[in-house]
Copies of this chain bind each other. A is one copy, B any other.
Amino acid sequence: MPNAIDFYFDFGSPYGYFASTVIDDLAARHGRGVDWHPVLLDTVFKTTGATPLPLIPLKGAYSVRDVERTARFHKIAFRKPDNFPVPTQNAARAMLWAQSAKGDEMSVRLARAIFQAAFVDNRNISDTAVLAELASGLGLDGAALLDGVQSAAIKEQLRAETDLAMAKGVFGSPFVIVDGEPFWGFDRLDQVEALLRDGRV
């Protein structure tokens, strides 16, 4: 079986959410799995000196419009969260905790539930009680999640995962790496698919 493709995202990124709704099917059409990697864009932006899109003059107002329009264009359920942007450390740690406790598949189910909570159901995903509730809904131990997201091991793992992503060239969300080839942005998934299909783009 060929290598899985790597999918990097921040739970606060609307374009990361959009990619999360299609990436597994896209990869599966070409016999590939997907490794999901939550990262912290705040940390990445501190390193690259980039400014979060919503805070840039002109671009910020445009980005709100572009997100809503892009969701409609691709027929993806979306509701702009009342709290945006939100800190995403807890959400990312919750996913890493689920992965270590229950494996990749369950961690991806939790990631989907978190994205849906944030960008469809207008829940505050920085709130650990919300994360525990989402986990419980999947049959996970919500109390164990609350401990997990506060553990030194999970905190250190998220730092290391974000550093590793940057070392591989990741600077935004979503970011996809296929056999060493990097793609930034939901709007590059057409090129990701071309590479998977044709072996080149």
**Which residues of the other chain, B, contact A73 by a CB distance below 8 angstroms?**
190-191, 194, 201
Residues of B within 8 A of A170 (CB): 58
Interface size class of A (residues with CB under 8 A): 20 to 34
Counting chain B CB atoms within 10 Å of each CB, which of A47, A58, A169, A184 scores highest? A58
- Asked if A62 and B190 sit within 8 Å, CB to CB, the answer is no
In whole angstroms, what is the CA distance A184 to B194 when docked? 23
Chain multiplicity (copies): 2
In the complex, what residue of chain B is closest to A51 when comparing beta carbons? B49
Min CB distance A44 to B, Å, is: 8
A186's nearest neighbour on chain B, judged by CB, is B187
Question: Is A99 located at the chain interface by the 8 A CB criterion?
Answer: no
Interface residue A56 (Cβ < 8 Å from any Cβ of B): yes
Interfacial chain B residues near A66, Cβ < 8 Å: 184, 188
A72 touches B201 (CB 8 A): yes
A57 located at the interface, meaning its Cβ lies under 8 Å from any Cβ of chain B in the complex: yes
Contact sample, A vs B, 24 pairs, CB 8 Å cutoff: A47-B57, A49-B56, A49-B57, A57-B171, A58-B166, A58-B169, A58-B170, A58-B171, A59-B171, A59-B172, A59-B184, A61-B169, A62-B169, A62-B171, A62-B184, A66-B184, A66-B188, A69-B191, A69-B201, A70-B191, A73-B190, A73-B191, A73-B201, A185-B187
Where chain A touches its partner, the secondary structure class is helix
Q: 6 closest A-B pairs (Cβ-Cβ)?
A: A58-B171, A187-B187, A48-B57, A73-B191, A59-B171, A48-B58
- Give A contacts to B, CB under 8 Å: 47-51, 56-59, 61-62, 65-66, 69-70, 72-73, 166, 169-172, 182, 184-185, 187-188, 190-191, 194, 201
